[in-house]
Structure 1
């Protein structure tokens, strides 16, 4: 019986790689972020195969003696070597560790990144059924892993503003902390967006009611952002209230964003479907990279 994948990403930035152009961009995004955070980068290529639970030691590929599937392993090692060289170009002072692991990408990345500070993946995979198959890896990770997840759409990391969704919840507060930390490190402005709920919109049948709802939303924004201005005086913050749905409100503001940050309240596919999952919609449709923080990440070290 094989041992589980070891948590090799402790304290590191972990990036998933499957050989696709989208994954390459995500790894380079992760390399720049790891350099900015002064963290190690661990790049993981998970191979779907007959050996899903292999232990991976630092700097090595662990395979049982009986393995005859040499071609997939060698191809994965070669692809990783190429992308590691590219990481050295964009982040020359960052330590990069490549890993090849047999197993389902979602399970492997969740395990390796269990004690990481950040997990970075691309939005789609290598097969034709991208959103239905490998593309679902990104969607599954943002709803299952306890590590903050970034779905990186390109290599850009510090050109544009950071947009964060605010709803007054604990996980939203964690998303705000993440946003301010990212903005100050990358010299970005911050836009905080609060979307009025559909129920509030149904009740807003008159201008006075609409104004009252907007005033309440402004109060939620101010209360949630309180104290951050003092902690991050160099971050320029803009607040906006939208009467669109939360997903649409954030998509509307993300045109010139370098990163869109949200909290996820969902747990599993059924709950995600029932809630209509704002984070799930953004992972698929946002024009920029998306960071998703889940409930349970409110405490711990600075992100």
Structure 2
């Protein structure tokens, strides 16, 4: 009888906080029990902001600018994915699916949870204060209220770790 593993989605972007969350998740959920069967099927999701080039501006020069912006966003997404792959390989985690999905990170992550029937979503925390969070919106705050699974917000400790 074949049983399928529960799915864990990890949301990443180019931030140090999201890679801390990915590494923490690998170390605490995947690698320690990896001999040879980790408890979760791991899916890493990067959301690429929506392209402005697809908006159909007819003002001369704007399309060229938006095309360059879109290329930059694509390059950033590819670098993020490559860095995630390298981190997984460094931890000997080879059974991982990595996706780049265009859209707002809040919606992309909630949709990924639904699409993959995930039982857990892990995200990093940028540690914004209340004003910045109100202006920019908090992905971690949004997904804790809207994702239909357990959500783990991984916070990077402030300052240096104390040696003891």
* TM-score (normalised: structure 2): 0.70
Structure 2 counterpart SS, 1:253: helix
Alpha carbons 2:10, 2:121 under 8 Å: kept: yes
Of structures 1 and 2, the one scoring higher in RCO (CA 8 A, sep 6+) is 2
Matched, 1:197 2:49: yes
Q: Deviations over 1:260-287 (max 9, x none)?
A: 1111113332222112100000010111
Which residue of the partner structure matches residue 241 of structure 1?
Answer: 100
Matched, 1:294 2:155: yes
CA gap of 1:265–1:286, structure 2 versus 1, over 3 A, is same
Matched, 1:171 2:17: yes
RMSD of aligned residue pairs (Cα, Å): 2.9
Which residue of the partner structure matches residue 257 of structure 1?
Answer: 118
C-alpha distance in 2, partners of 1:179/1:294? 11
Structure label with greater radius of gyration? 1
- C-alpha deviation, 1:290, in angstroms: 0.7
CA gap of 1:243–1:232, structure 2 versus 1, over 3 A, is same
Unaligned runs of 5+ in 1: 1-157
Structure 1 counterpart SS, 2:110: helix
Structure 2 counterpart SS, 1:296: coil
Q: Deviations over 1:209-228 (max 9, x none)?
A: 45774354122211243132
Which residue of the partner structure matches residue 227 of structure 1?
Answer: 87
Alpha carbons 1:174, 1:298 under 8 Å: kept: no
C-alpha distance in 2, partners of 1:217/1:249? 14
Which residue of the partner structure matches residue 30 of structure 2?
Answer: 183
Structure-to-structure mapping, 1:1-303, within 5 angstroms: 159-181=5-27, 182-184=29-31, 185=33, 186-198=38-50, 201-203=51-53, 209=67, 213-233=73-93, 235-255=94-114, 256-296=117-157
C-alpha distance in 2, partners of 1:277/1:204? 26
Which residue of the partner structure matches residue 60 of structure 2?
Answer: none
Unaligned runs of 5+ in 2: 56-62
Whose helix fraction is larger, Structure 1's or Structure 2's? Answer: 2
CA gap of 1:262–1:288, structure 2 versus 1, over 3 A, is same
CA gap of 1:220–1:298, structure 2 versus 1, over 3 A, is farther
Structure 1 counterpart SS, 2:132: helix
- C-alpha deviation, 1:249, in angstroms: 0.7
Alpha carbons 1:159, 1:258 under 8 Å: kept: no
* TM-score (normalised: structure 1): 0.40
C-alpha distance in 1, partners of 2:160/2:85? 17
C-alpha distance in 1, partners of 2:158/2:42? 21
